Structures are given as C-alpha cells and as structure tokens.
C-alpha cells in the first residue's frame, strides 16, 4: 500500500462508528465529531472560544465514556 493513502485511511477509520462502543474513535478521543473536508468546503463554523471548547470537550467525553461502558 502506498503511504499516500495511509492518512486518508486512518481518518476514515477514526471517523467511522465502531460496533463495539457505538461511537467513532475520534469522539472518544476528542469529545466531538471530526471536522470533515465537506465542513471546511461549506465553511461551517467551528468553536472559537477556548473556555467554551473546554466545557464542551469535558461534557462530550463524559457522555461518550459513560455510553461506551
């Protein structure tokens, strides 16, 4: 396999919901859905405030960890 495809495959894997947990690995690691290329293309907004990001991250991680268990 060419190295050029590895990053894309890793992104696809981490953005795909896993049957065992019911969540994608990206959510379990970062507490939010991954930002996809289509999000950037459509210029969808991202969280800009650090304190708001931190609160959402903590709440999101707490939620998915509880559900994954």
- Domains of the chain, residue spans: 3-68
Residue 49: per-residue pLDDT: 45
Enter the tokens of residue 53: 């990001």
Asked if residue 1 has pLDDT above 50, the reply is yes
Number of H helices, E strands in the chain: 4, 0
Q: How confident is the model over 26-63, as pLDDT tens digits?
A: 888 877 778 888 888 888 776 554 567 677 778 888 88
Neighbours of 9 (CB within 10 A): 10
Residue 57: per-residue pLDDT: 78
- Name the pTM for this structure: 0.55
Residue 45: per-residue pLDDT: 73
d(Cα 58, Cα 30) in Å, to the nearest integer? 9
């Amino acid at each position: 396999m060419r190295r050029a495809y590895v990053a894309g495959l890793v992104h696809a894997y981490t953005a795909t919901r896993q049957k065992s947990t019911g969540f994608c690995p990206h959510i379990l690691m970062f507490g939010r859905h991954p930002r996809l290329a289509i999000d950037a293309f459509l210029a969808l907004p991202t969280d800009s405030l650090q304190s708001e990001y931190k609160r959402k991250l903590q709440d999101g991680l707490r939620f998915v960890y509880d559900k994954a268990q």
